[in-house]
Amino acid sequence: MDLDAITKHSALHAKPSGLILQYGTAGFRTKAEHLDHVMFRMGLLAVLRSKQTKSTIGVMVTASHNPEEDNGVKLVDPLGEMLAPSWEEHATCLANAEEQDVQRVLLDISEKAAVDLQQDAFVVIGRDTRPSSEKLSQSVIDGITVSGGQFHDYGLLTTPQLHYMVYCRNTQGQYGQATTEGYYQKLSKAFVELTKQAFCSGDKCLSLKVDCANGIGALKLREMKNYFSEGLSIQLFNVGTTGKLNHLCGADFVKSHQKPPQGIEMEPNERCCSFDGDADRIVYYYYDADGHFHLIDGDKIATLISSFLKELLLEIGESLNIGVVQTAYANGSSTRYLEEVMKVPVYCTKTGVKHLHHKAQEFDIGIYFEANGHGTVLFSKTAEMKIKQLSEELEDKKRKAAKMLENIIDLFNQAAGDAISDMLVIEAILALKGLTVQQWDALYTDLPNRQLKVKVADRQVISTTDAERKAVTPPGLQEAIDNLVKKYKLSRAFVRPSGTEDIVRVYAEADSQESADSLAHEVSVAVF
Ligand code: NG1
Ligand code: ZN
């Protein structure tokens, strides 16, 4: 590494003085104009991580569901996973180093992480459709090239596609071809195979309206549509030609406002879904005949998928262990339904997919979803091999079930939560089971809930334990929350500092919407 060249280039991507940023739940995220130095430095860091792991590393330029003016960056580790926690710290140190310290911090990281600087480095880059993303990804490339790394720039990609590319490249093509073409082929082949069995294929039960949040999902879904044109009819809305990214639309808007996005025409009982700005989240919804809006969030998606997988496992007579992983934001009704009715073990982790993903890896089949619609299903190597073997050995109905499981494995993105892949799984399950959106929704009734954001001077004064369900500091806060919760029926509430915004999040649920609203409000006052 030519440290002098790095110093010279670094000056061209100068850090605004006094700016301190943290590698948070989903990397760095803030106003786009403050990110040039972070991008350059993440190019440098990706090279070090690649040298250390002797693998391809990914860099994704996106701020997901944040407003269009924001941007962000995260690194993707060799198996398509989120960056390891110790490297998140290195990322924060490097991003915040003053200009004259960049060289020293780089050498420090190399030493601490035992990076062999002679090793080759390869980095792949993807970006979302934000106006600022192209220039920012050029700064990442500048960081990579000046530190002697090789790179491939995929240009516009959904976040989960970039995760997929990294995974493919580090498993020598075993997982799939590391191209968008390879991604489309893998998923569409699995989808077409799976839905061949569906008794209602071809008619209107396989038609869906998709709100693309005016983001990258529109471009990619449009490309992909050609691969399964006969199996599923998709109509795209909010495709980015007129509207602003994530503005009054997208999965985050629909989930947090509990209302439909603008820019979509919905008929009663019609199945609709929304992606977020980088297409790693999905939620479903519909209007009933009385004009009531029904949201089907990540919890209900996890439930549908769990029940389908459990049925298939029963059919093939194999006792692979299933676990469902949620966060504190999971609706209490979903947890109860999964545990008591479906009898599947449920685990709660801290917010942020890296925590859920990690926990899900403990099972043969780990199903994880955040309530906001971010999730996927992971299959262990043992489970995958067993299912493959059974699909060759078994006969008739059992063989059919094993084949379905094989296709489901291919259809789920094993590297990250993926709106396109999840959508295809859900559509396939609904078709195979002959379920309408209303029947799916009726699995259980969500407890009324409310999420609020509270602006405080320093959100870090709040620390939590028990997978963020209990506040440890400031003193007295948890007692105050406990006392408020006692006033309502079927109630629960918690607070935690956001990892992506400078706010504290308040969550409350109770037996009625009024109660949930007023509990959330009272807890906000206790926080403030
Ligand atoms: P924060 O801001 O830490 O609550 C939000 C979401 C997470 C996750 C990340 C990353 C909620 C309550 N929080 O995190 O689930 O998706 O963004 O995008 O939805
Ligand atoms: Zn996202």
User: What's the 162 CA to ligand 1 centre distance in angstroms?
Assistant: 20
Q: Whose CA is closest to atom 7 on ligand 1?
A: 352
Q: Stretch 185-213: mean pLDDT, rounded?
A: 82
Active site residue 64: yes
Quick one: which atom of ligand 1 is closest to the CA of 451?
12
| Residue 142 within a domain | yes
Same domain, 325 and 415: yes
202 pLDDT higher than 80 = no
pLDDT at position 196:
86
Q: What is the three-class DSSP state of 397? A: helix
| Residue 176 within a domain | no
Same domain, 432 and 368: yes
pLDDT tens for 478-494 read 999 999 999 999 999 99
Evaluate: CB of 498 within 6 angstroms of ligand 1. Answer: yes
| Residue 425 within a domain | yes
Evaluate: CB of 505 within 6 angstroms of ligand 1. Answer: yes
pTM value surpassing 0.90: yes
Last residue of a domain, one of 121, 140, 156: 156
Q: How many CB atoms lie within 10 A of CB 255?
A: 24
Using CA atoms, how far apart are residues 375 and 241, in angstroms rounded to an integer? 28
pLDDT at position 200:
57
Evaluate: CB of 26 within 6 angstroms of ligand 1. Answer: yes
Per-chain residues with Cβ under 5 A from ion ligand 2: 64, 276, 278, 280
372 is in an annotated binding site: yes
Using CA atoms, how far apart are residues 365 and 363, in angstroms rounded to an integer? 5
User: What CA–CA distances, in Å, run from 509 to 356, 448, 464?
Assistant: 22, 6, 19
Using CA atoms, how far apart are residues 21 and 27, in angstroms rounded to an integer? 10
| Residue 317 within a domain | yes
The shares of helix, strand and coil residues in the chain, as percent rounded to the nearest 5, are 45, 20, 35
Q: Which DSSP state fits 340?
A: I
Same domain, 291 and 345: no
Average pLDDT, the chain: 95
pLDDT tens for 501-519 read 889 999 999 999 999 999 9
36 is in an annotated binding site: no
3-state secondary structure 448-460: CEEEEEECCCCHH
Decide if 428 contacts 197 (C-beta within 8 A). no
Helices (H) and strands (E) in the chain — how many of each?
18, 19
Q: Stretch 401-417: mean pLDDT, rounded?
A: 97
pLDDT tens for 74-111 read 999 999 999 999 999 999 999 999 999 999 999 999 99
Same domain, 7 and 145: yes
Domain tally for the chain? Answer: 4
Last residue of a domain, one of 441, 465, 483: 441
C-alpha 31: how far from chain center: 21
pLDDT tens for 118-175 read 999 999 999 999 999 999 999 999 999 999 999 999 999 999 999 999 999 999 989 9
> For residue 275, what are the contacts with CB-CB under 8 A and spacing of at least 6?
210, 211, 212, 213, 215, 217, 221, 250, 251, 281, 282, 419, 420
Same domain, 151 and 9: yes
Same domain, 107 and 147: yes
Quick one: which atom of ligand 1 is closest to the CA of 329?
12
Same domain, 192 and 273: yes
Same domain, 433 and 456: no
pLDDT tens for 301-339 read 999 999 999 999 999 998 899 999 999 999 999 999 999
Same domain, 139 and 17: yes
| Residue 508 within a domain | yes
Same domain, 302 and 283: no
Task: Report the candidate in 300, 282, 173 with the shortest Cα–Cα distance to residue 221.
Answer: 282
| Residue 169 within a domain | no
Same domain, 65 and 115: yes
User: What's the 488 CA to ligand 1 centre distance in angstroms?
Assistant: 26
428 is in an annotated binding site: no
Query: What domain range includes position 32?
Result: 3-156
Same domain, 280 and 302: no
What ligand is nearest to the CA atom of residue 459? 1
Last residue of a domain, one of 410, 441, 472: 441
| Residue 250 within a domain | yes
Q: Look up the CATH number of the domain holding residue 458.
A: 3.30.310.50
| Residue 168 within a domain | no
pLDDT tens for 262-284 read 999 999 999 999 999 999 999 99
Q: Cα dihedral sign for 170, 176, 177, 181?
A: negative
158 is in an annotated binding site: no
pLDDT at position 341:
97
Quick one: which atom of ligand 1 is closest to the CA of 281?
16
pLDDT at position 201:
47
Q: Stretch 5-31: mean pLDDT, rounded?
A: 93
Q: Look up the CATH number of the domain holding residue 219.
A: 3.40.120.10
